[in-house]
Amino acid sequence: MDSSFISNLILATVRMAVPLIFIATAELYSERAGMVNIGLEGLAAIGSLVGFLMCYITGSAWIGILCGALAGILVNMIYAFATVTLCANHTVYGMAINIFAPALASFINRIYFGAGSQLNQIKLMDTVNIPKLKDIVFIGTLIFNQTPMVYLAFALVIFTSIFFNRTKAGLNYKAVGEHPKAAATLGIPVIRIKYLSCVICGALCGIGGAYLTTCYSNTFTEGNIAGRGFIGLAAVIFGRWSAVGVMLACLFFGFCDALQIRLQVMSIGIPYQFFQMIPYVATIIVLSILGGKKSGPAAKGQPYRPEER
Amino acid sequence: MKIKNATGLVVPLLSILLAFIIGGIIMAALGANPLEAMQYLIKGSFGTVNALGNTLNKATPLIYCGLCACFAYKCGVFNLGGEGQFLCGAMTACVVALLLGEKGVEGWLICLLCLILGTIAGGIWGFIPGILKITRGQNEMIISIMLNYVATLFMGVIYTNWMRDASVPQTLQVPQADRLGRIFPRLRFTWGFAIAVAVGILMWIFLFKTSAGFKIRAVGYNMTASRFNGFPVKKLMFVSFIVSGAVAGLGGAAELMGTQFRLINGFGAGYGFDGVAMALIGQLNPLATILVAVFFAALRVGSTSMQAATGVPTSVSDIIQALVIIFTVAGLALVKLPEFEAFRLRLTSGKKEA
Amino acid sequence: MAEILRMEGISKRFGNFYANKNINLSIEEGEVHTLLGENGAGKSTLMNILIGLYQPTEGKIFFKGKEVHIESPDHAARLGIGMVHQHFMLVKAMTVFENIILGEKHSKGLFINREARRKEIIELSERYGLDIELDKLITDLAVGAQQRVEILKALYHGAELLVLDEPSAALTDTEVEGLFAIMRKLTSEGKSIIFISHKMREVLHISDRITILRLGEVVTTVNRGDVDGQQLADMMIGRELKPSHYEKKVVPHDPVVELKSVDFSKDNKHNGLNGVSLAVNKGEILGIAGVDGNGQTQLAQVIAGVITPDAGTVDLGGNKIQIFDPNDFINKGVAHIPEDRNLQGLVGDMTIADNLVLKETENPRFSGGIFLKQGVINQYAKDMIQKYDIRCQGYDQDVRSLSGGNQQKVILAREIESEPDLLIAVHPTRGLDIGAADFVHEQMIKARAENVGILLISADFDEILEMSDRILVIFEGQIMGEFSGKNPPIEEISLAMTGNRKGGRA
């Protein structure tokens, strides 16, 4: 194992972690307002397709990302309406989104591109290229030669951490997920915050999905989310509902992903699928070690109905 | 008399209608005549003996996966691992049939053996999230989804590596003599369909007619009351996870022995979530789930002839399916709202006065 | 002293039922005004109107001389009315500091200015002697400290009138002393307090004036010095001893269940048991009287095998219980009408017939080993619907859609028909109309005649007096005394319910 293996591994870890950070942070915002959304996989799928499509049409990865976010929001509004207003079961409706959104994505994909859609490619988002600095060995590539989305992901973590820990709005927001009734008696608009959480969740999931097509691989394939939505869910549990914790969890899962790719390249004789299993098996093991003691926002997954008058 | 049953039927039917209306609008937007397209959709799925055969054949794996989801949810555990359990069944059946086939051992007994071992394999794959749930309190959804990916990848190992058919990334076909035969030679579906329906009927009988099924339903509806009334809640949840996995495993084995004959990229993909959708639309009634599965299969099969005749792409039918689930689940939540109940009462009392 | 709050002619009607009827209440600045009344006397409804959760059907509210229409708790808080709920409205996973500043609007800026907010809070807490560590999580605080957080929170949000809903219910004696010191400090600084309590000793100790509510109406308002505990208890309970409809029995000591020194999380006065010993004999109704939340829930669940006691023994039919498992208790002849019928007693999405045989699915009468005998079950359900007068559309109606009274009859039928040795009935007539309640009582008397031992746990004192052959009073998880059900000494019992041992402190 030489140093380039390790530096490549670290670089890949960061890149693989970025979509997870967006998706897991999306769930963090959701659960902090008491909304357990297991539809992340679907939201990311639609974000991924729309991001790809708009990038393909306009040539701009940024417009792609933006439209991916919008698509995520739109689809998640269905979830928000069903769960907040109609009090549908969060899990069941999240599953409905997981079925609906990928179908919608593949529908749009096939309608627009017809058969053979895999052949269409886009130009990936450019990396931020800071002359000189990027030439510093390893650190240069790691810190100064990434796509802006990587910086955005980490900025999001910092912002989220500050928002939940330092701002009044963040405190009020958290109260909605912990004890909506108490929040309501203090004049915090519970329903509005729940909807807002779904907007944020949809947007971030959409961005996470769009990242995969506009910054990572330059084409859209069905199933490209590959369980990242559910790994994102696991990352929120693993990260103990804190922004930094979630980021670390995503880096861990990103590392597993990066490791499996590196190992695939290196090893001969062992079927590559065994390496591909690593992130999934790691998720199971991590969750099993953590145990399922009641944790996270106290009122998550529970319907909230304003007090009868 | 039974209001619940009425809404339970009306909501999905309205959802289907609504989904078709939106589907029709999409078809029109794509430049086709929606009525014509839908005619082909129906013709292509039920119009001929051939089409019917295809539809029921396509429905077979969906029924197993729907029943798998149905059984687990009935007991209040969310098994999203139907796909992995399905694949485990298929892989076991394939490997056993091929290994024995190499030694020249084949025949219907082998077929039976494959189905049984596939069932067991599915059960084992359901055992893992089940045991983690009841002993570690783990989130069964995430675990079972992760196991889907593990199973899919493991299948990849088999067809690209261990049992690869020369240069093509797929396994050999299982021996002719092992295969599940057709019930009617002219119709494409096999005994796998008959077994699926039988499993569905048995499941319905078990859930609604036996004392054990009674307890499982009670746990699924109200865990606390079940505990107060002395039911072994955890044990029942654990058992339903295994049974649920076993049904999917049997489905995988039957699909392999009856229709696909070999493992190949994309085998069983998406069946797990399809199963969840069908169970939810069927409101966890095994018989209704079978009907929904046939309906889904009809959409899929019919859409091919629709595409051929009118140019409306097959994926329109996927979107219709997806809309059905979105509407049904929302609709079922809606009718449970107290406001809706009040509204309904106002309507009916208004009628009486008038 | 000036009047801070006046409620004039307040009525609140739910359907045909008046929870509050023409209530007049006046609170002066700087006083502790106690609302005294039994469960269901209308105290909570009145306070919910005051803090804007309910709108009154009739009546006016004047706050600081101006008429107000209070639309929400938030609105009430802005006016200066703060409530400390009996079940605290605190976010357990947040710190004291965070809970207090939650929802505050008087400071500008996006960020929490910790220094400034802390200074304000510390000032307030020192002024009123509310000693709290700001950086602790609520989870890590004792109940008394949590209550101080609630009070501080209300003050921080500008409360001038504080409603304390049974604030002492879950406190230890020293904590109660601390609470009273705080209350005195608050009133000396001009704040007003509405104090809701059942505990006579405390009421007499801290109140300036006392308003007694009964059946939704004001009985009277008195000054503390003008009455004694006995008079207050009489006014609150408001009844002479009515002869019971039922003959009271004295049976020999032949226990179907016997508890010896049973503890369950005994430091928790609200939800614990502390050295409870009792025996229910064959053919008698043992009534447990007490105000809600003094350990009745836990008592019932221990005897039903749902929870395992920390110490002590439970003997069923003379055998000591080793493992607490509901199924085992059911098989040993324990029937249970649980406290929360929808959550614990019934499976709402199943039919009446299903719920009637919920415990009998292994019984050869209804099950042939594997299959249920649906025909037998349906016929049985039809019989039960007749026998227990369950008003429904048919045996295959979901119990969820039945009225509360009929739901209770389903449970009653199931439990009594199981021919138990012991029947635990927890608040068996709560929320039922008189007809249904009488029916439930009749059935219990019938069961007694068949030698069933019945443990009746109820917060409805009338029910206890009417039904019980013997009465035990439970208070803060302890048995306060045993009284005869025949010519029961009402005064003594009601004093015991408010925390006074027979012949003990007054």
Q: pLDDT, tens digit, for every residue of B272-281?
A: 999 999 999 9
Does the pLDDT value for residue B2 go beyond 50? no
For residue B6, pLDDT over 90 is answered with: no
pLDDT for res B136 = 84
pLDDT digits (tens, 9 = 90+) for A184-203: 989 899 999 999 999 999 99
Assign C503 a pLDDT band (cuts: 50, 70, 90).
Answer: very low
B293-322 pLDDT, tens digit per residue, is 999 999 999 998 998 888 888 888 889 999
User: Is residue C232 scored above 90 in pLDDT?
Assistant: no
For chain B, how many residues are written? 354
Share of chain B above pLDDT 70, in %: 97
The ipTM assigned to this model is 0.89
Mean pLDDT of B336-347: 79
Task: Give tens-digit pLDDT for C394-428.
Answer: 898 889 888 888 999 999 999 999 999 999 999 99
Is pLDDT above 70 for A292?
Answer: no
Mean pLDDT of C157-176: 84
Burial of A308 (0-12, 13-18, 19+ CB in 10 A): exposed
Question: Cα(B234)–Cα(B213) distance, rounded to whole angstroms?
Answer: 15
> DSSP string spanning chain A?
--HHHHHHHHHHHHHHHHHHHHHHHHHHHHHHTT----THHHHHHHHHHHHHHHHHHHS-HHHHHHHHHHHHHHHHHHHHIIIIIS---HHHHHHHHHHHHHHHHHHHHHHHH-TTGGG---PPPPPP--TTGGGSTTHHHHHHSS-HHHHHHHHHHHHHHHHHHHBHHHHHHHHHHH-HHHHHHTT--HHHHHHHHHHHHHHHHHHHHHHIIIII-SS--TTTTTTHHHHHHHHHHHTTT-HHHHHHHHHHHHHHHHHHHHHHHH-SSS-HHHHHTHHHHHHHHHHHHH---S-S-TTTT----PPP-
The owner of tokens 């299969």 is B297
Under DSSP, the state recorded for B173 is P
CATH architecture of C3-237: 3-Layer(aba) Sandwich (3.40)
How far is CA A193 from each of CA A183, A201, B182, B317, rounded to the nearest angstrom?
11, 12, 57, 36
Q: Residue B4: its pLDDT value, please? A: 53
Domain count, chain A: 1
The reply to whether residue B145 touches residue A106, judged by beta carbons under 8 angstroms, is no
pLDDT of A112 higher than 60? yes
Q: Smallest Cα–Cα separation from A19: which of A206, A155, A144?
A: A206
Report the alpha-carbon distance of residue C292 to residue C41 in Å, rounded: 13
Instruction: Indicate the CATH number for domain C243-333+420-506.
Output: 3.40.50.300
Domain range for residue A207? 3-115+145-290
Counted across chains A and B, CB pairs separated by less than 8 A come out at 136
Looking up residue A89, the CATH number of its domain turns out to be 1.10.3470
Show residues of chain B in contact with C398, CB under 8 Å.
4
Task: Check residue A126 and give its pLDDT.
Answer: 80
Segment B29-48, tens digit of pLDDT: 988 899 999 999 999 999 89
**Rounded CA gap, A273 and A280, in Å?**
12
Q: In which band, very low, low, confident or very high, does the pLDDT at C506 lie, cut at 50, 70 and 90?
A: very low
**Average pLDDT of chain B, as a whole number:** 91
Q: What does the alpha-carbon distance between residue B273 and residue A223 come to, in Å, rounded to a whole number?
A: 13
Segments making up each domain of chain B, as ranges: 61-312
User: Is residue A1 pLDDT above 80, yes or no?
Assistant: no
Q: Which chains touch B (3 or more CB pairs under 8 A)?
A: A, C
A75 — phi, psi (to 5°)? -65, -40
Residue A280 touches chain B, beta carbons under 8 Å: yes
In percent, how much of chain A has pLDDT > 70? 91
- Picking from B214, B228, B284, B340 by the largest number of C CB atoms within 10 A of its own CB, the best residue to mutate is B228
CB contact residues (below 8 A), chain B span 210-229, against chain C: 210-212, 214-215, 217-218, 221-222, 224-229
CA distance A46 to A202: 10
On chain A, the residues whose CB falls within 8 A of the CB of C53 are 307, 309
| C411 Cβ neighbours under 8 A, 6+ residues apart | C337, C338, C341, C345, C346, C355
- pLDDT for A145: 72
More confident residue, B89 or A109: B89
Residues C210-227, buried b or exposed e (16+ Cβ, 10 A)?
bbbbbebbbbeebebeeb
C72 touches chain A (CB under 8 A): yes
Task: Just give the CATH number of B61-312.
Answer: 1.10.3470
Please indicate whether residue C405 or residue C199 has the higher confidence score (pLDDT): C405
Backbone angles phi, psi at C314, to 5 degrees: -125, 125
Distance from the Cα of C351 to chain A's closest Cα (Å) equals: 22
The full set of domain ranges for chain C reads 3-237, 243-333+420-506, 347-418
Q: Residue B250, class by beta-carbon neighbours within 10 Å (0-12 exposed, 13-18 middle, 19+ buried)?
A: buried
Residue C154: pLDDT band (50, 70, 90) is very high
Question: CA A62, CA A124: separation in Å to the nearest integer?
Answer: 10
pTM: 0.89
pLDDT in tens, B160-198: 988 888 888 899 999 998 898 888 888 888 999 999 999
Question: Is the Cβ pair B146, A78 closer than 8 Å?
Answer: no
Q: Tokens 């009154």 — which residue?
A: C56
